[in-house]
Amino acid sequence: MKTKKINGANYKILFSEEMIAEKIKELAAMIKGDYATAEKSPILLIVLTGGMVFGVDLIKELDRIGLVHHVDTVGLKRYGKDEHGGAVKILSEPHADLTGRDVIVVEDVIDHGITMNFLDDYLKNSNPPASITYCALGLKRNHAPLQFEVKYLGFNDLSPAWIVGYGLDSEQAFRGLQDIWVKIDP
């Protein structure tokens, strides 16, 4: 088992770069199947900062398979220097007018669900889109009740252990790791 020290803790590979790439292809094919004949192209709303790597690879795959789409971002923050989240803060709002549009929210991993429930309320109460669909690379098993369905899901039932790499961070570092690593220290 290959391990790595990250901020003083031991981690092992949870998902390899190849496994992630395969999931992205599957998710993109599902999205294309649902939106290929839509009147308007969907807007992929990438949740920053964690969702940026996944979001970029997903939009590149959607381009490769020929689905026209638009891209925007929303900046949210719940975690600080530790692994215990606080109140959700909006760091940057979407630039596009989402009113009446089909929006696909692109998130890295839904941990507790608090941030995504907050975003769901925010989107429904600001400029309400015609539809809001959720796409996540991963969903942890101990999340709070979600007020939405994750229609496009890569990896389900992840352990609650801290994970890093592929956009996920430890104190704003290690986002560039190609694989996703899981903390194995208690």
Cβ-in-10-Å burial (0-12, 13-18, 19+) of 102 comes to: buried
SS3 at position 117 = helix
Residue type, 14: L
In angstroms, the Cα distances linking 126 to 43, 62, 94, 121, 122 are 16, 27, 11, 9, 6
Do residues 76 and 87 touch, judged by C-beta distance below 8 A? no
Active centre residues (catalytic):
111
